[in-house]
Structure 1
Amino acid sequence: MTTTSQTALSPIEAYLAELDRALIGRRGTKADLLAEARDGLRDAAEAYREGGWSETEAQRRAVADFGQIREIAGDYQAELSMHNGVRTLWLLVLGVPAMQTSWEVARIFTYGSWSRLTTPNPGWYPYVTQFTHAAIYAVPFLGLLALLGTRFLSRRFDGVRTARACRTLGAIAVGLNLFSVLLLIGATGVVDAARLFLSGPCGLLMVAWVVLSFRLAVLARRSWRGCATIVA
């Protein structure tokens, strides 16, 4: 049944279906790229039809002129990876500071001063909190640096190299954020697990922060897979 449905496709639709399978990325962005390709192929086929070719032959010639799937997919995949990477970076730049600020505000209004804590801090715990606080500033800074760098590189290099640079900086920032969040949660749980849930809102925001961190990791992985597809 699958073979019959593929055979029934026109040359242009068969080409686009194969191109779709070769690409990794967000469905909406991929659909936009495929729609752009479809418009270009139909315009080329129309020009061939006006030259006297049959509909099927006109489409075949338009597809041949458009290029091999591997070559076209590489260019499109670079653009998809760029979209994925930029989306991840904006979440880093805006999401991480927003989560930290929200948690601090919730802590102030629903729990109060840190002086209320009764469990003493071991000597190593302040180093953990200092590291995680530094990461809160470092992560959005790296994300912003990557965004600016991507904008700069896109004017001077091809999409593949720009996507790789965006992917690498984004992966570093995402990794640092995830590590710092898990480190803080693990260390706090060892000292006094109750600190993770100072109040209901603080507990919910902590969970949301963890979810955001893993979501960023998933997006970074997709961008990485997309770049790996370009190389392959």
Structure 2
Amino acid sequence: MAADSLIDEYLQVLGTGMHGRRDRADLLDEVADHLHSAAERLEAVGVDPETAQRRALARFGEPRLVAGLLTSVPSKGNLVTLFFSRHLGATAALAAVLWAVASVAALYGFTDVDGAWTSDRYLLSAMLISAACLVTTAVLVGMNLRATGAFDGSTIAIAALGVLFAAAALVLAWAIIFWLPLLAAAVTWTMARARRAHAGSRTFVLVLLVAAPLIGIASIAVTLLGQFAEANLEFAGWALVAGMGAVLIAALADLAVRLARRVSRGYAVPA
């Protein structure tokens, strides 16, 4: 039996035993994530691929028993929950693209870098930043749902926070003190929950847990410094927006690639 097929065959058996669950595809996706991650960790310390998969499967349990346990508990979410979880990869990719475009647009919308600043450039940059914030909020909600399986209080609060900082970015994009710390707070909150639930890439979860709060605090400091020192810190403001964008682009792209790779592994959900 080829090593690459061990987890796939396990998922086939598991899926067969989970008929009747409308969230079966999402559960299989999460189980696949767990199993592949466990196998990859073993491979990283020198275990050969086939043995790594066998150990990961042995630790997870006999598939028919696991299927019975999963079938006996309530469905993990409603259709809205499933929508966010199912489209998380595509949403993350879109958010990464929007942040890349918004970061470039903000250079011309926030600063006079080429000596031809216009209000139209500023409005365009504000719209792009707001759109990036909204789509990022959808990703954060999706990560929370993958971690908890339901719209709990924290997920709802993060969603509301996301709508707030997206609206603030649209209206007052140049005043980063009003929206960048809120974005940083939502990202940090989500990463803390994702880390506990192993719902995200460990490397980027840790990076965001450090970088997001620092950028949020720096945005407050730069704004206050500009007010009290009467200094022109427009490039510093743009740098903070671009810095947050760069970190998010890397993390979002990583999330999108990992989820796409999982789909490309091609296990089929039994009919």
Q: TM-score, normalised to structure 1's length?
A: 0.34
Q: Hey, which of these two has a bigger chunk of helix by percent? A: 1
- With normalisation by structure 2, the TM-score equals 0.30
Pick 1 or 2: higher relative contact order, CA cutoff 8 A, min separation 6.
1
